[in-house]
Amino acid sequence: MKWISVCAVIVIIAGVVNDGVHAGKGTTIIDTLRDYYLKLEDDAWSVVNMGKNPDRILPIVYKLYKMFALKNITYEMEDYELVSLDRIYEWKLLERDLMSVRTLFQNFREELEKQKMTNFDELSATDFAETVFEDKNFPVPQTFDQIESIMVNQGLYYKAMVEVKDQVCSSQKAAQQVIYQMYSAISLTELKGYAMMQFSWMLLKTFGKGNYTQEAQLMRQRFENRTERTQELVKRVMERSELSVWRCDPDVHVEGETYEQFTRLLQGYIENEVDMNTDGTCKENCAAYTFTESHGCFKDLYCAQQPQCKGKIINCTYVDSDMWICPSKLHTNRRYEYIRYENGRVLGEESTCVRGTTKVDSWWRWLFWHCSYCFCLCDEQGYKSDRYFNLRETVSDIDRNKVIVGVRFRKVNRIMHLQIQQGELLPRGVINASTVEWKAVNDYRLLDSGLKNGVDYHTMEWNKRAIDLDDLQANPGHVVTGVKFRSIGPRVNLEIRVQEFNFETGKLDNVGVWISNDNTEVGTNQRTRIYLRNPDVPTKGKARSQVDSKTNQFIEFTHTDMDADAAQTTVPFLDAQDVVSVPPVPLSGIGIYHKGLPLSGGFVAPKLIVYNMAQHVYTPKPGQEDLWDTYG
């Protein structure tokens, strides 16, 4: 069964709270709820032990448990399923027992709702109590033993950590999220079962069916000891679990939906030597032209039949003197579909040439100079070349207590943006799912007045085309509220805005700080480069891309391989899939990484680093948690 998708437990918090920021303080919802219940239980037993008059005792006990079961533990079953654990046999066994407790607790809620404050139905109440202890269909005590045996003794938390590690990009959950959701779901089930047992003993004692004080005290001690052992184990596992969320390659690549690309940054270009110098001579060879430009069109030869490169021409090489060139189809970003040389070498994928091939031959001048056609790279800015990164900051609506919960790349008006998804931060690390939305990107155009290159946007060129690959993470007690890129010399570098917040109330501090990794290729802790070797178009890949970078590296946007694609495409592409967690959670960081395959340009992609909940898994100390007033 897949109901064990974790409940989004929404606890109603009453009483006066402190709005000051206490970074790292405060317990999780389930730990706080458990502590709240135990205090309620103490008061309920005090009432039960006061006397033997059911008419005075039961209204108080029922009122207390109604507050717990009907008000303070409202929940919605949502599709946050732990399907990633379905292959673990022990989890399937445990799932069945958890389901039975859940069903019995619903009966418990119905029992509480139907009882009136006068004329209690003793038969119905005692029947429920006996069901809790004796019905084989609802083995509550045995379930506790089963939970501890499977989760603690058999190490299911560790098994789950290993199992989900390789499913992060498909499940859209960080490994720690899965562990925390398991802990919350199981702890809530334990608390429900334990509360029903204590309530049942209270009923039986009140109706004179026995004393049960000793049994209740022993159960309380075992429950607290089991909780402490579980918390220690869960914290260890969570601290070792991955916090990152990223996306696998999709089954089908769709530009503008699953990926974006820069265009014509460095593109393969055929040019004759005679047109690459001011003298119109052929005294050199192709290799001599490492940095030049087009100076004319000699006798309107092939240069007149193709769009001229009006930017820089770099890194020319000689392949062969004569060739057949297949020009690109109309309305594409390519110059050529393929080039077939007379010596048999083919650049690109040779196929039917829609526009027909053109024979292009080098020639001799005055018997001494060979005017060769060279294969070069063209770096030309123009309307067909999308090569811009947005440098404007994008910040969540902090005035509405919203934080970033997701990101994705989007190309708008030829400019690449890192768009954010935001949601309202609630107490104890919960995101209000009804408020989650994608925030519109900065909608500006390159020709708008007042824009500045290097301030509003970054323009890539042959010597300024790298992006830093970093995992940026805030200090404990902080969440992410902003992202932006900045130019550092030849590279684009990620920055994130982080803010401290009060875990107990969810309220953000007023001050945000931008953090980044300023390392370069020189100095201490030098950045290292990711090299693309003979890269082809990444959407041609027959397998899923694999992460091949780590933090403190960088990669350059470049052209595809000469032989594979005639150097016509700019790679890597950018993964444009929504990078979000399910359910949405606050973030402590964001990263940029590269994934790819051998002989592929791969993808530059964003990742999420979810907020670390391990620091909040503990039992509140006396006086530490006062967010709930006495029973609401």
In a domain, 262, yes or no: no
Residues 364 and 448 in one domain: no
In a domain, 370, yes or no: yes
Q: What is the spatial distance between Cα 180 and Cα 355, in angstroms, rounded to a whole number?
A: 59
In a domain, 500, yes or no: yes
* Predicted pLDDT of residue 140: 78
pTM: 0.90
Residues 425 and 502 in one domain: yes
Residues 130 and 238 in one domain: yes
pLDDT digits (tens, 9 = 90+) for 474-530: 999 999 999 999 999 899 999 999 999 999 999 999 999 999 999 988 878 899 999
Asked if pLDDT for residue 168 goes beyond 90, the answer is: no
Structural domain that includes position 76: 8-243
Asked if pLDDT for residue 24 goes beyond 70, the answer is: no
Asked if pLDDT for residue 61 goes beyond 60, the answer is: yes
Confidence of residue 547 (pLDDT cuts 50, 70, 90): very high
In a domain, 583, yes or no: yes
Residues 347 and 449 in one domain: no
Residues 191 and 42 in one domain: yes
Residues 179 and 301 in one domain: no
Residues 443 and 583 in one domain: yes
Whole-number mean pLDDT of the chain? 89
In a domain, 627, yes or no: no
Helix (H) or strand (E) run with residue 166 in it: none
Asked if pLDDT for residue 89 goes beyond 80, the answer is: no
Residues 499 and 543 in one domain: yes
Residues 99 and 197 in one domain: yes
Residues 409 and 339 in one domain: no
pLDDT digits (tens, 9 = 90+) for 437-484: 999 999 999 999 999 999 999 999 999 999 999 999 999 999 999 999
- Phi and psi for 573 in degrees, rounded to 5? -75, 175
**End position of a domain, from candidates 349, 379, 409:** 379
Domain count, the chain: 3
Residue with tokens 């799912």: 433
* Strand-pair partners of 378: 267, 313
Q: What is the spatial distance between Cα 627 and Cα 9, in angstroms, rounded to a whole number?
A: 16
Asked if pLDDT for residue 110 goes beyond 80, the answer is: yes
In a domain, 553, yes or no: yes
Residue with tokens 């196929």: 351
Least confident of 128-132, 195-199, 232-236, 602-606: 128-132
Confidence of residue 185 (pLDDT cuts 50, 70, 90): confident
Higher-confidence residue of 364 and 6: namely 364
% of the chain surpassing 70 pLDDT: 91
**End position of a domain, from candidates 379, 398, 417:** 379
pLDDT digits (tens, 9 = 90+) for 480-491: 999 999 999 899
Burial class (CB in 10 A: 0-12, 13-18, 19+), 383: exposed
Confidence of residue 102 (pLDDT cuts 50, 70, 90): confident
Q: What is the spatial distance between Cα 357 and Cα 361, in angstroms, rounded to a whole number?
A: 13
Confidence of residue 74 (pLDDT cuts 50, 70, 90): low
Confidence of residue 5 (pLDDT cuts 50, 70, 90): very low
**End position of a domain, from candidates 379, 401, 419:** 379
Residues 363 and 504 in one domain: no
In a domain, 525, yes or no: yes
Least confident of 21-25, 148-152, 280-284, 610-614: 21-25
Residues 569 and 426 in one domain: yes
CA 445 to chain centre: 29
Asked if pLDDT for residue 169 goes beyond 60, the answer is: yes
* Predicted pLDDT of residue 150: 80
In a domain, 628, yes or no: no
